[in-house]
Amino acid sequence: MARSRPHHAAEPAESAQTQSTGCGLLLSIRPRQWSKNLLLFAGLLFAKRLFDPSSVIAAIGAFVIFCALSSVVYLLNDVADRASDRRHPLKRTRPIAAGVVSLPLALSTAVALALGAIVAAFALGTQFVILALSYLGLNVLYSGLLKHVVILDVLTIAIGFVLRAAAGAVAIQVAISHWLFVCTILLALFISLAKRRHELVLLASGAREHRPILDDYSPYLLDQMIGITASASLIAYILYTINPENAERFGTPWLDLTIPFPIYGIFRYLYLVHQRQGGGSPADLLLSDLPLLACVICWVVTVVLIVYMPS
């Protein structure tokens, strides 16, 4: 049996030699994680604006702006966590931790992206600017303080998803649904807690050294929280689909036909977390697990067919 390689400081150095600065910077802004910002299109979908050109353009603009803001957050977070990332079995090869991308380059890129995104946000209105600044401010606060406060750490991440959903609605000038808030925050909490569990199990005895807040969690506690949020997410979505007001607004009583998709999606995610040790990167998990990706695509297609079908 081959021996596992010790995690020496030399390994990041080796990674640094095999990556160019440009490639490292591209990896640092994490384009694979931009899939999280697809949530900005939820308002477009459920407001029945999917085939309205001006709304589609506004939603795409909002998506691009939040992708830039997300990259700012990733850069700042990697700068702040570079020391602990070097001791992590997976994160130690991140370009900033590995020394591929220098701190001045990372910080100057973050500033440029932030300024460009905020200037562009004014094209979508003052409310959108406020939400964009709130998202950026919340995540900066998370990187510096809130990620070290038990429960508030995952709640902050979930609120970030709510701000995304709200920004998508504001960008196309539609009312922000209370259902959108409830379903988004519950599902985001479920995913965030699953990520914490993955970190705790992966790092085992070295969890506290990498992220001190993990010392305040345990797999049992996280499993209880995950079970609650998974159940609440499904109940909230089911209530949304069978709500008479929503049936009247959409002009169809058949939205409940989409219920099997979130049930399967959440069960599949739990399977991947518990049986396949997944959940460390929800975006990567979505893109790499074909059954989960197929479930999301089928849900979107089904919603479009039901909501947009002529009555």
Position 38 scores a pLDDT of 93
Does 21-176 carry CATH code 1.10.357.140?
A: yes
Query: Helices 178-203 and 260-275, interaxial angle, to 10°?
Result: 20
Q: Token pair of 69, please?
A: 């803001």
Position 6 scores a pLDDT of 40
Residue 7 has pLDDT above 50, yes or no: no
Query: Which has the minimum average pLDDT: 188-197, 237-246, 278-287?
Result: 278-287
Position 85 scores a pLDDT of 75
Residue 2 has pLDDT above 70, yes or no: no
- 252 compared with 6, residue with greater pLDDT: 252
Encode pLDDT of 53-86 as tens digits.
999 999 999 999 999 999 999 998 888 878 877 8
Where residue 13 falls among pLDDT bands split at 50, 70, 90? very low
Q: Closest Cα partner for 279 from 184, 186, 191?
A: 191
Burial 46-73 (b: 16+ CB within 10 A, else e): bbbbbeeeebeebbebbbebbbbbbbbb
**Mean of per-residue pLDDT scores for the chain:** 87
Residue 37 has pLDDT above 60, yes or no: yes
Residue 16 has pLDDT above 50, yes or no: no
Where residue 292 falls among pLDDT bands split at 50, 70, 90? very high
Q: Token pair of 158, please?
A: 């979930």
Position 4 scores a pLDDT of 41
| Residue partners of 248: CB distance under 8 A and separation at least 6 | none
Q: What is the DSSP letter of 3?
A: P
**Residue 57 near residue 123, CB atoms below 8 Å:** no
Q: Closest Cα partner for 89 from 199, 2, 194, 217?
A: 199
Residue 198 has pLDDT above 70, yes or no: yes
Where residue 10 falls among pLDDT bands split at 50, 70, 90? very low
Where residue 100 falls among pLDDT bands split at 50, 70, 90? confident
Handedness of CA 69, 75, 79, 83 (dihedral sign): positive
Residue 270 has pLDDT above 80, yes or no: yes
In the chain, where the domains are located: 21-176, 177-311
Q: Token pair of 204, please?
A: 């085992």
Encode pLDDT of 200-252 as tens digits.
887 766 666 667 788 889 989 999 999 999 999 999 999 999 999 988 988 89
Q: CA 224 → CA 66, 163, 218, 272, distances in Å? A: 32, 26, 10, 17
Encode pLDDT of 157-172 as tens digits.
999 999 999 999 999 9
Upper half-sphere CA count for residue 142 (Cβ side, 13 Å): 22
- 2 compared with 310, residue with greater pLDDT: 310
User: Based on the number of CB atoms within 10 Å of its own CB, is 120 exposed (0-12), middle (13-18) or buried (19 or more)?
Assistant: middle
Where residue 101 falls among pLDDT bands split at 50, 70, 90? confident
Residue 177 has pLDDT above 70, yes or no: yes
Strand extents, DSSP E, the chain: none
Position 68 scores a pLDDT of 96
Q: CA 286 → CA 144, 246, 265, distances in Å? A: 28, 28, 10
Question: What percent of the chain is predicted at pLDDT more than 70?
Answer: 91
User: Based on the number of CB atoms within 10 Å of its own CB, is 26 exposed (0-12), middle (13-18) or buried (19 or more)?
Assistant: middle
- 292 compared with 207, residue with greater pLDDT: 292
Residue with tokens 């990733």: 74
Position 240 scores a pLDDT of 95
Residue 278 has pLDDT above 80, yes or no: no
Position 209 scores a pLDDT of 65
Q: What is the DSSP letter of 49?
A: -
- 203 compared with 118, residue with greater pLDDT: 118
Position 210 scores a pLDDT of 65
